[in-house]
Amino acid sequence: MLTADLGRRRLSPHSDRITPAFIDETDEKYLELAQRLIQLYQEHRGKRRKELEKVLEQLTAGDTDYKIIRGLAKLLEDECTFVIKSSLDPSQAREEIFALANQRYPIVQRLSLIHRTQAEEIYDAVAQKLGLAPEAVEESMYTDLAENHVMAQFATDRRHRVTDPPWLLQRYNLALAQALLYDASELTVRIFDHFNTIFGYIKLFRLMHEIRPLAPGYEVKLDGPASLFHLTRRYGVRMADFLPVFFFKSGIQVSEVVKRAEECALLPTESRP
C-alpha cells in the first residue's frame, strides 16, 4: 500500500468533496512509466537498496509527477524481498571493530609520532582474527541497515502479473483509494451478493460496524479510525487492507465512503466484477 504522504487527493471546486486523484490507466505516458519502473526493479536484483534509491532520485528529480513515480515505486518495492547479505554478522563485526578501536584509540586518518593507528589497521587485525579479508570485515559493519539490504527476489520471480503495466496502474488507483481510509471516520457499503464472504472479512479485519437491511441486500456502515476516541493508524491500515475485497466481488456498491471532520470524500461507486 501507499504511505499517507504518497496519497493524492482532488478537491471538487463546486463542493466539499475530496476524491482520490486517480490516473488514466490507459494513458500511454503512464503505461510507459510503469514499464520503465518494472524494468528498473528487474535490473536491480542482487543489488543494494541504496543503488535503486539513487536511480529513483535521478528519475524523480524535477519531475512534476514525483508522487506518481514514488507511488508506483512503493508498490513495486512491496513486491520485493530484501535480505542482509554479509560474510560476517553485522553486530559481531561492529563489536570486534569497536572493541579493538577502543584499545588503540585514537584512530586517525594520517599517522603522526603520537597517533599511529589508522582504521585500515583495525580492519586488518579483525580480519586476521576471524580469517576473513579486510574488505569483507569493513563491508559487514553496516549491512543490516535498510539501505544496504540486497534485493534477493522481485515479484516477477514468483508471479507473472507484476510484469504487466496495466496491472500496476490499476493497483496504484486502488492504493490511492486505500490511502484515504487511513484517517476516515466511516465507510458505507451496500452489499447485494457474497454476504458470507464480506461479513467474514469484516470479522477477520476486526472492523467495528453497523448492518441494516436494504432490499435486496444490506447496507454496512464501518467505523473508521477518525471515529474512535483516539485516532488509530493501525485500525486505518486494517480498513485499507479490507477495501480490495470490493474490487474482486460483483454485487457491491461503495457509496460516500470517507467522511472526516472537515472533509467528505467519494470513491468509485461501483466495484469491478
Q: What is the pLDDT confidence band of residue 254, given thresholds at 50, 70 and 90?
A: low
One-letter amino acid at 190 equals R
Q: Which one is predicted more confidently, 267 or 169? A: 169
pLDDT at 192 over 90: no
Closest CA to 142 of 86, 224, 76: 86
Closest CA to 179 of 171, 189, 190: 171
Q: Give mean pLDDT, residues 245-271.
A: 49
Q: Give mean pLDDT, residues 17-21.
A: 80
pLDDT of residue 16: 66
Q: Are 9 and 20 in contact (CB under 8 A)?
A: yes
For the CA atoms of 139, 141, 144, 150, what is the dihedral angle to 10 degrees? 0
- Three state DSSP letters for 142-205: CCCCHHHCEEEECHHHCCCHHHCHHHHHHHHHHHHHHHHHHHCCEEEEEECCCHHHHHHHHHHC
Q: Which residues pair with 117 in a beta bridge?
A: none
Q: Are 76 and 37 in contact (CB under 8 A)?
A: yes
Q: 1-5, 39-43, 96-100, 262-266 — which one is most confidently predicted on average?
A: 39-43
The whole-angstrom separation of Cα 32 and Cα 108 is: 51
Q: What is the pLDDT confidence band of residue 173, given thresholds at 50, 70 and 90?
A: very high
Low-confidence winner among 60-69, 114-123, 135-144 (lowest mean pLDDT) = 114-123
pLDDT of residue 224: 81
Q: Which one is predicted more confidently, 188 or 145? A: 145
Q: What is the pLDDT confidence band of residue 108, given thresholds at 50, 70 and 90?
A: low
pTM of the model: 0.78
Q: How far is CA 170 from the centre of its chain?
A: 16
pLDDT digits (tens, 9 = 90+) for 36-90: 999 999 999 999 999 999 999 999 987 889 999 999 999 999 999 999 999 889 9
What is the enclosing helix (H) or strand (E) of 220? strand 217-223
Handedness of CA 36, 42, 43, 48 (dihedral sign): positive
Q: Which one is predicted more confidently, 249 or 41? A: 41
- If DSSP codes are grouped into helix, strand and coil, which group holds residue 64? coil
